[in-house]
Amino acid sequence: MNLAPYRAALALPGVRSLVLVALVARIPATMTTITLTLYVVLGLDRGYGAAGLAAAVMTIGSALGAPLLGRLVDRRGLRTVLVLATVGTGLFWASAPALPYPVLLGTALLGGLVSLPVFGVVRQSLAALVPEQHRRPAYALDSMAVELSYMAGPALAVLLATSGSPRLALLAVGAGLVLSGVALFLLNPPVRAENEPTPAERPVARREWLTPHLFGLLAITAATTLVLGGTDVAVVAVLRAADQVAWTGLVVALWGAYSLLGGFAYGAVRRPPPPVLLVLLLGLCTIPVGLGGGQWWWLALALVPAGLLCAPSLTSTVDAVSRLVPSTVRGEAMGLHNSALTTGLALGSPLAGAVIDATGPGWGLAATGLAGALVALALLPALRGHQEAVGDTTTPEPVEVAPAGGVDGGRTAG
Q: What is the pLDDT of residues 15-69, one digit of tens each?
A: 999 999 999 999 999 899 889 988 998 889 888 778 878 888 898 999 999 999 9
**The predicted structure's pLDDT at residue 68:** 93
* CA angle at 26 for the pair 273 and 231, rounded to the nearest 5°: 55
Q: Considering the chain, tell me which residue range(s) the CATH 1.20.1250.20 domain(s) occupy.
A: 1-195, 207-394
Please provide residue 44's backbone torsions phi and psi, each rounded to the nearest 5 degrees: -105, 0
- The rounded distance, in Å, linking the Cα atoms of 93 and 134 is 38
**The predicted structure's pLDDT at residue 61:** 92
**The predicted structure's pLDDT at residue 386:** 55
Residue 413 DSSP class: P
- The rounded distance, in Å, linking the Cα atoms of 9 and 267 is 10
**The predicted structure's pLDDT at residue 373:** 96
The distance in angstroms from the start CA to the end CA of the chain is 41
- The rounded distance, in Å, linking the Cα atoms of 135 and 290 is 35
- The rounded distance, in Å, linking the Cα atoms of 53 and 49 is 6
- The rounded distance, in Å, linking the Cα atoms of 93 and 107 is 10
Our measurement of the distance from residue 223's CA atom to the centroid of its chain's CA atoms, rounded to an integer in Å, reads: 13
Neighbouring residues of 195: CB distance < 8 A, sequence distance ≥ 6: none
Q: Which amino acid is at 118?
A: V
Length of the chain: 414
Q: Quick one: which of 62, 313, 263 has its CA closest to 177?
A: 62
**The predicted structure's pLDDT at residue 247:** 85
Task: Using only the alpha carbons of the chain, give its radius of gyration.
Answer: 21
**The predicted structure's pLDDT at residue 408:** 31
Under 8 Å between Cβ of 115 and 32: yes
**The predicted structure's pLDDT at residue 372:** 95
Q: Concatenated DSSP letters for 76-121?
A: H-HHHHHHHHHHHHHHHHHHGGGS-HHHHHHHHHHHHHT---HHHH
- The rounded distance, in Å, linking the Cα atoms of 82 and 63 is 17
What is the fold of 1-195? Growth Hormone; Chain: A; (1.20.1250)
Q: Residues 200-205: contacts with CB within 8 Å, 24+ apart? A: 202/326, 202/328, 203/328, 204/326, 204/328, 204/329
- The rounded distance, in Å, linking the Cα atoms of 32 and 24 is 15
Burial zone of 358 (CB within 10 Å; 0-12 exposed, 13-18 middle, 19+ buried): exposed
**The predicted structure's pLDDT at residue 147:** 85
Under 8 Å between Cβ of 1 and 264: yes
The tens place of each residue's pLDDT in the chain, 414 residues long, gives 577 888 888 888 999 999 999 999 999 998 998 899 889 988 898 887 788 788 888 989 999 999 999 999 988 899 999 999 999 999 999 999 999 999 999 999 999 999 999 998 999 999 899 988 888 889 988 888 888 888 888 888 888 888 888 899 999 999 999 999 999 999 999 988 887 777 766 777 888 888 889 999 999 999 999 999 889 888 888 888 888 878 888 888 899 899 999 999 998 888 888 999 999 999 999 999 988 777 888 899 999 999 999 999 999 999 999 888 888 888 999 999 999 998 998 888 888 888 888 888 889 899 999 999 999 999 988 776 555 444 444 444 443 333 333 333 333 333
Q: Quick one: which of 174, 78, 164, 82 has its CA closest to 128?
A: 78
Q: Quick one: which of 177, 206, 224, 179 has its CA closest to 340?
A: 224
Quote the longest CA-to-CA distance of the chain.
62
Q: Which amino acid is at 354?
A: A
Torsion of CA 318, 321, 325, 327, to 10 degrees: 10
Q: Which class does domain 207-394 fall in?
A: mainly alpha
